[in-house]
Structure 1
Amino acid sequence: MMTSEMMHRLLHNRWRGNIKESIVKGWWSLNTERTDKDVVGDSGDQPRTPDEETKLPKLPVPLLERTMKLYLETLKPILNEKQHEHVRKLVTDFTNGPGVILQEILIERREEHDNWAYDWWLHDMYLCNQASLPVNSNPGMVFPPLPNLSAETQMAKFAARFVVEMMNFKRILNRRELPVEKATSREKGQPLCMAQYYRLMKSYREPGLVKDRLLDVESDLTLSRPHIIVACKSQFYVLRLTSGDDATPITEEQIAAKLLNIIIDAKKSVGSAGMYPVGILTSQKRDDWAHSRELLMKSASNRNNLALIERCLFFINFDLEIPGPEFNSVCKVGAKGYRLFNNRDETNMMHQMIHGGGSEYCSGNRWFDKTIQLVIGRDGSNGLCYEHSPSEGIAVIELMEKLIKSTKDLNEQSTDPIASTEKNEKTEKLTWSVNNELIKHIADASTVLDKLVKDLDFHVFRFTQYGKEFIKSCKISPDVYVQLSMQLAYHKLHGKLVATYESASTRRFRLGRVDCIRAATTEALEWAKAMNQSAVTETSILGTKKIFYTVTDNEKLQLFESAVKKQTDVMIDNILGMGIDVHLLGLRQAARENAMPCTIFEDDSFRIANHFALSTSQLLTSTDSFMGYGPVVSDGYGVSYNPQNNNLIFCVSSFKSSKFTNNNAFTAALEQSLMAMQKMLYMRRN
């Protein structure tokens, strides 16, 4: 079991921010042996920076004294007085001792690198983490379901539109014509790093026995003759997107015909000799998957298969078996906060996107290492599973929403046969050479994943009493408001606050990714205690009882305003490159590389500070879609939220095996907190 700090590093910093592309050419052969030039993120090998990115400022190194002061401040609401006093001494010793030398190392490193934190951050967050990708790392996204996908012809047409739109986007990337986004708050108009968009269809996370490698798999060959991989019935097919010697792009109708052929062939092949769900091996712990991959690599045909998979632009995953209701308590029609589609609720669909439903359903129909997997279910469910290390969610959501909007005209389309010369064309199936040892690995991987799938508790909850329009009318940032509602809910349920993580984009800087907004502040704690105070009952001399509260409504409002200001200040510090977590990571890594043991990083307080029992992300969409992920510590919650105009969508996760968490109770506490906050703000208006 990995440390809690590493578990938090895996998932928390995933939603906003950016990662830089590496433009490495020349990987021509199908041999999967690589040189360091093909690898993104190895120490000392920062991604090459395009000219437009060099115009962005470099990520700053905050002042040592400032960071250590803020670190001590963030620990106050989650430690007792004795623990906090102990940390105060550690901070003083570090600031006046090894911290001075380590700070100079970071300042020098900033001069030498486009982004001084990039390599360290990528390794710490992802590449050195051995946890399995489904649930623990890969987010899932649910798109608006479609009513007309029961016919395989319609599934193929729908997927073909996805492919065409993805290729349109890829051509824009190839020409480097993607418009540069601009900051919309705090120094409005500042250009943002766009590198993460350029990585979406040219990255692959290769498992390693010690650490993974993030590969740039684009070459001149893949640019001119691109292909995708199609998964159906746990089998994998190559779909070439060009034809002829001149590599002419094939049409949408031709793509649909090829996809339909694949579905038909996959159904016919079920039960055939040698048909094993090799894809489920990618769900293993990273070192276990690396070992399984080494076994696969002993076969020349398997090496060829792996090369084709790693170099593909993206996956299309046809799910013909849909997860059943055992993954969650399927809600009744009209149940509060939940919605049904074809007798499945949105929570059930999210399970499908995050992990595939286990070996019984579609987990073998995935390849979890690949950045983009577009999932299309035969019941109209559709969405995404994506590997996180190449990009934050902001780029992924932007692209996915373009796809969603492009398919609107297909909803009412008929299921007429596809007329194309490719209709009866032979498919290009990947056939695997699997020995008894690999068969055992597949069986073991299935058992482990099934256990993880059954342990995941997940709720998609829609709070419909109000949305961001009401919050904005109160002159409060919706993000700040929702963060405080979660602090109030956690305190209501558990009687305390815990280290809380919200990812904050640092895309204003060259190769910027994310830093951490620590939402569990002293101000939030004081406000939560006031809101959740117990009533005091006083009996008079005449025997009459009077119920009152020790904190008045006006005092609650004042405490709330202080909490809002603090949360806002922390958010601004982070997006302007003055957060503390990346700085602390740099100081710790510099100490390791220079053999300078530092008590402050070995103390239990540092573990507590990085044990994020509340892992949160704001994931905004303009369509009726949402993204979610699993918890990052065994006794914690993962909460993504999507403020819409008149409702708030929450994806809440935890583990059923935990004695400390309860999804139903947390969701109920969250609803109560949001209602209490509205009541409080109505009082302010009056």
Structure 2
Amino acid sequence: MPLITRKQILPILKNNIICQRVCVSQFSEKSSDKDYQYLQFSKIPTYHFQKSLPRLPIPKLSATCDRYLAAQRPLLIDEGFRKTEFNVKRFCASTGQQLQKYLQDYDKANKHTSYISKMWFDMYLRDRQPLPLNYNPIIVLHNYLNPDMNNQLVKASNLIVSSLRFYKSLEANILQPEVFHLNPKKSDTALFRNICSKLPQAVSWHGAYMFNAYPLDMSQYSSLFKSTRIPEIDKDRFYSSQNSTHITVQHKGHFYVVKVLSDTNEILPADVILTRLKFILNDNVDEAEFSIGPLTTLNRDKWATIRHELVGAGNESKIKLIDSALFNVCLDSEEVEGDLIKTTRQFLHADSNNRWFDKSFSLIITKDGYAGVNFEHAWGDGVAIFRFMQEIHKDSNEKPQVNIDTKTVHDKNNEICRLELNLSDNLKNEIQKAKTDYKKLCSTLDVNYMTFDGIGKNICKKAKVSPDAVMQLSFQVAYHKLTGKFVPTYESCSTAAFKHGRTETIRPCTMATKDMTLALNLQKSKTSLQEQRQLLEKCSKYHSQLTKEAAMGQGFDRHLFALKHFATKKNLECNIFHDPEYNMMNHNILSTSTLNSPAIMAGGFGPVVKDGLGVGYMILDDACGAIVTNYLPTANGKGFTEALNASFQDILKVLQYKS
């Protein structure tokens, strides 16, 4: 990416010194009402950097082939590796060159986006698997210190208002842009914001770069609100409403439509929103016998067929209200009591009566006040929803709009209604069958967790090793302790540093982690702590290299995915993609992801394959932990967490070693 110099920027600044976006200047003097309506008043417009973001690079074909072979090496015996190496080298010298040219031409013709964006989005929409457990992840927030503020009604009201404040700021282009500051003390400053806000969009990224700050792609943020995934035969459709002033609220399996914005798009008073939620919680209705929520747990083709019947039974306008809602809220009747396994199950799957898994996100609040989201994955990755969750937790905690003493008001407009759906006998039968099948599936899901004191960011910093490398090494050691095997492992890495970037895969099972694992599990008596420490440092160095490559769009998974897409499209035979070892590499036994934030209590997801483990992990200053999901009896999550604890004990001794 060519850069401009400071000398080139100065004239631009002088020529644009009074140039301001209307959406910023109109809020320069905040009134108390505007303070309520908007979460932030960023001097730099939200999408200011979007136009000048660098494009996701297409890696060199030879580099991708080398990286792919390096990831295969610890998984294969010598004979299998030689066969794969032969196929890869032949591919690199022949068909791969042709596919690379197709991909490069496609990229040149679509400079407004990234080469992976459309085909990755299509991959999600074409998959026919049900969304819950297979795709939808969860994020659960920490409770507030004041127990009164965790009251379900109070917490739901505050989180809804904070969500609307976030939404209004995003729509007005005054939400702070997402920027990664390498040195926040030097770049996250008034000077940075003042200079960057005056730069034209076409060069704004370069200005931030000169502060050693890196704006991130924000294209996914627009899909947070007013959006949903709609099932269709063969390929789903993503729908976004142009205008919306309401949310949907689910309680006891019933859908309520609640107006939260005025006709002029202003957030209604917080006490009005609280009053409407209280009406729902006090509504004297039984649990819905035939809630339509379970239908969103079905195979997508099956759900598409049933939805067509549901809409055709006189429910079109009602279903459209669900689709077009700003977001969905689930007021649950269950309590989780702070139990991490109960909490994970409640947010990850529940019984589906009070869920709508198709919505971009559903804000869930349990009866005892635990809050989080379950979100659909096709529209975006963790970056946007993670930022959103942190912002609304902070805002609702520091600036709550209602409390336990807030009185309800006379709601003269009473702009709230419970949806009464027309359900034929066939639809009722399909709902009942969906509930039964879903309950059976969820009963096979096992959830375990573990925490370990002693290994955290601080000890890793002292040892000069990467905390994430230590966690990933621990997973390899644990799985080998349990099974004696090394398996394909997936770690998600964001490529949001690039325009329309999605994710790239880090492959943490390496020859370095294999050597260290064998040293700990099979050769402990033969290797000294000093030797193990050297092996650990080698693991950290290599993992950090893989992480950097992935974040810079230089992994191999997305590149090969795109090449395979063109091989299918052009009907080209490629030995590399027909090699059983390629399918094995993409059968991710260990699927891992991390979210670290003071606001986040837990994050989790289901295993991506039936015999695999879903590992959501966190590493704090002086402790670490993981939530592990698996299907019984094909995988052993309980045994894995026990082995993980033993692995941490072994690795702690290595970290504590002083030469």
Sort the TM-score into its range (normalised by shorter chain). 0.7 to 0.9
Partners of 1:397 and 1:621 within 8 A in 2: no
The 1-side partners of 2:231 and 2:373 are apart by 21
The 2-side partners of 1:433 and 1:486 are apart by 50
**Residue in structure 1 matched with residue 547 of structure 2 by the alignment:** 571
Partners of 1:141 and 1:350 within 8 A in 2: no
- Superposed CA deviations along residues 572-621 of structure 1, whole A, max 9, x for unmatched, are 11111111001001110011111112121112111111111000112111
Distance 1:291 1:408, change over 3 A: same
Partners of 1:58 and 1:115 within 8 A in 2: yes
Q: Does 1:347 align with 2:341?
A: yes
Distance 1:428 1:192, change over 3 A: same
**Residue in structure 2 matched with residue 286 of structure 1 by the alignment:** 300
**Residue in structure 2 matched with residue 26 of structure 1 by the alignment:** none
Distance 1:595 1:388, change over 3 A: same
Please give the secondary structure, in 2, of the residue aligned with 1:242. coil
Please give the secondary structure, in 2, of the residue aligned with 1:298. helix
Task: State the shift of 1:412 in Å.
Answer: 14
Of 190, 193, 212, 2:214 maps to: 190
Distance 1:523 1:475, change over 3 A: same
Partners of 1:372 and 1:385 within 8 A in 2: yes
**Residue in structure 1 matched with residue 248 of structure 2 by the alignment:** 229
**Residue in structure 1 matched with residue 11 of structure 2 by the alignment:** none
**Residue in structure 2 matched with residue 258 of structure 1 by the alignment:** 276
Q: Does 1:551 align with 2:501?
A: no
Task: State the shift of 1:454 in Å.
Answer: 0.8
Distance 1:551 1:271, change over 3 A: closer
Task: State the shift of 1:637 in Å.
Answer: 0.8
- Superposed CA deviations along residues 293-351 of structure 1, whole A, max 9, x for unmatched, are 11111133x1111111111111111111347xxxxxxxxxxxxxxxxxx4x51111110
Of 522, 525, 550, 1:533 maps to: 522
The 2-side partners of 1:168 and 1:411 are apart by 12
The 1-side partners of 2:64 and 2:652 are apart by 35
**Residue in structure 2 matched with residue 171 of structure 1 by the alignment:** 168
Please give the secondary structure, in 2, of the residue aligned with 1:365. coil
The 1-side partners of 2:401 and 2:497 are apart by 42
Give the partner amino acid of 1:228: I
Distance 1:635 1:411, change over 3 A: same
The 1-side partners of 2:369 and 2:399 are apart by 12
**Residue in structure 1 matched with residue 451 of structure 2 by the alignment:** 462
Of 613, 620, 623, 1:644 maps to: 620
When normalised by structure 1's length, the TM-score is 0.81
**Residue in structure 2 matched with residue 61 of structure 1 by the alignment:** 58
**Residue in structure 1 matched with residue 651 of structure 2 by the alignment:** 677
Task: State the shift of 1:148 in Å.
Answer: 8.4
The 2-side partners of 1:509 and 1:426 are apart by 43
- Unpaired stretches in structure 1, ≥5 consecutive residues: 1-48, 324-341, 536-548
Partners of 1:149 and 1:379 within 8 A in 2: no
Of 180, 200, 218, 2:241 maps to: 218
Of 617, 629, 636, 1:653 maps to: 629
**Residue in structure 1 matched with residue 424 of structure 2 by the alignment:** 435
Of 215, 219, 231, 1:207 maps to: 231
1:492-641 equivalences under 5 Å are 492-533=481-522, 549-641=525-617
Please give the secondary structure, in 1, of the residue aligned with 2:127. coil
Task: State the shift of 1:557 in Å.
Answer: 2.1
Partners of 2:154 and 2:274 within 8 A in 1: yes
- Superposed CA deviations along residues 352-373 of structure 1, whole A, max 9, x for unmatched, are 00012x2xxxx21110000121
Partners of 1:485 and 1:674 within 8 A in 2: yes
Of 664, 681, 684, 2:638 maps to: 664
Please give the secondary structure, in 2, of the residue aligned with 1:72. helix
Moved more, 407-416 or 671-680: 407-416
1:109-120 equivalences under 5 Å are 109-113=106-110, 114-120=113-119
Task: State the shift of 1:63 in Å.
Answer: 0.9
Please give the secondary structure, in 1, of the residue aligned with 2:363. strand
Partners of 1:146 and 1:380 within 8 A in 2: no
The 1-side partners of 2:389 and 2:287 are apart by 34
The 2-side partners of 1:190 and 1:412 are apart by 34
Task: State the shift of 1:73 in Å.
Answer: 1.6
Q: May I ask how many residue pairs the two structures share in their alignment? A: 585
- Superposed CA deviations along residues 369-421 of structure 1, whole A, max 9, x for unmatched, are 00121111112222221111222123212211222233437999874473301
Distance 1:427 1:510, change over 3 A: closer
The 1-side partners of 2:624 and 2:316 are apart by 47
Task: State the shift of 1:624 in Å.
Answer: 4.8
Please give the secondary structure, in 1, of the residue aligned with 2:215. coil
Partners of 1:137 and 1:630 within 8 A in 2: yes
Please give the secondary structure, in 1, of the residue aligned with 2:448. strand
Please give the secondary structure, in 2, of the residue aligned with 1:310. helix
Give the partner amino acid of 1:675: Q
Q: Does 1:303 align with 2:316?
A: yes
Give the partner amino acid of 1:93: R
**Residue in structure 2 matched with residue 398 of structure 1 by the alignment:** 387
**Residue in structure 1 matched with residue 186 of structure 2 by the alignment:** none
The 2-side partners of 1:401 and 1:563 are apart by 32
1:22-171 equivalences under 5 Å are 52-113=49-110, 114-124=113-123, 126-145=124-143, 154-171=151-168
Partners of 2:567 and 2:573 within 8 A in 1: yes
Partners of 1:147 and 1:379 within 8 A in 2: no
The 2-side partners of 1:400 and 1:236 are apart by 24
1:478-489 equivalences under 5 Å are 478-489=467-478
Task: State the shift of 1:643 in Å.
Answer: 1.2
Residue identity over aligned pairs, in percent, reads: 32
The 1-side partners of 2:77 and 2:261 are apart by 64
Moved more, 597-606 or 407-416: 407-416
Partners of 2:249 and 2:256 within 8 A in 1: yes
Give the partner amino acid of 2:118: D
Please give the secondary structure, in 2, of the residue aligned with 1:428. strand
The 1-side partners of 2:416 and 2:260 are apart by 13
Partners of 2:48 and 2:177 within 8 A in 1: no
When normalised by structure 2's length, the TM-score is 0.84
Give the partner amino acid of 1:432: L
